[in-house]
Amino acid sequence: TGSSAPEMVVSNNDLAEIIETNDEWIVQRTGIRTRHVLRPDETLASMAATAAKKAMEKANISAEDIDMIILATSSPDDLFGSATAVAAELGATNAVAFDITAACSGFVFAFVTASQYIRAGAAKNIVVIGADCLSRWVDWSDRGTCILFGDGAGAVVVTATDPDKDCLIGFQMGSDGNGRCSLGLPTINKPVNLGGGKEGANGAYGVLGMNGNDVFRFATGKVPAVLSELLQKHNVEPEEVDWLLLHQANRRIMDSAAKKLKLPQEKILCNLDEYGNTSAGSIPLALDEAVRSGKVKEGDLIASMGFGAGLSWGGILFRM
């Protein structure tokens, strides 16, 4: 595993200077105290590459040995994707690189995608990265959304092994496009004259919009339901789970899920207070910190789930 976050840290007190809010109000509602934010001259690709380098070093794998790079992000530096830029920075000349866009479910979707390439024998070593910089797409005058998001990246190296040593026990993914209006960042199309009485458009993006109540209800219902189904399907008792690793969106969502799954709060992996919601970066970033601190150890059973825009969700059971 590996992770990376910008050096610049923005506290709740910093935000209180530009919007009507305060530290206590934000902490009580979200659990967030600070968030890391990219400076104007910094890029998502470099942040993602740094996380990948750390993961590769820990796995003792060289750039030449990487067959594939999957970058889960909804905020690439380039509309056509940033995975190839990451591959170039890593020197992974033998790897095919591509992006997956699934917002806060992105890392789980990318991890499952990598596992299928591995199991099919199409690749042996895959770097899976979750990275986002949604700080660049929020309305910094809207206290309902800007307080939530930060920038960050996390990565894992997925390698081929014998079938009896396969660490991915099971997964479940889904989406519901009827809920897409609850969380999104739509395009803004400006009409342009094409001649002959015809009209096209120049595209741009607006700012992130979210119905917080809708997303909260969706998450508190979907997360425990999906993970409960996974546990039952694979004959795993809740007490066998060592860690609950959820997308870092809101502390209340984590607490609610743990309660419904009958897991003690001590089993929740959480770094939301420092990083805020880093979208696709949140799960691998929290995982890397837990691994490097010695909290998560080899053989530990982890129940993990991403959820968010789409609306989309993905749950996985795996061993380290």
Sign, CA torsion 267/283/47/202: negative
Q: Which residues, in sequence order, are bridge partners of residue 4? A: 153
Quick check: 83 and 100 in contact, CB under 8 A? no
DSSP label of 82: S
Cβ neighbours around 259 below 10 Å, total: 13
104, 133, 146, 270: the catalytic one is 104
* Sequence letter at residue 4: S
Tokens at residue 116, please?
A: 């299928």
Is 104 catalytic? The answer is yes
Is 234 catalytic? The answer is no
Is 247 catalytic? The answer is yes
Quick check: 139 and 146 in contact, CB under 8 A? yes
Q: CA 69, CA 126: separation in Å to the nearest integer?
A: 6
The sheet carrying 2-4 orders its strands as 2-4, 151-159, 125-133, 68-72, 96-100
Q: CA 221, CA 219: separation in Å to the nearest integer?
A: 5
247, 250, 270, 271: the catalytic one is 247
Range list of β-strands (E), the chain? 2-4, 9-11, 34-36, 68-72, 96-100, 125-133, 151-159, 168-175, 183-184, 187-195, 198-205, 209-210, 243-246, 301-308, 312-319
Tokens at residue 163, please?
A: 């079938």
Quick check: 307 and 157 in contact, CB under 8 A? no
* Sequence letter at residue 226: V
Q: CA 218, CA 204: separation in Å to the nearest integer?
A: 29
Positions annotated as catalytic residues are 104, 247, 277
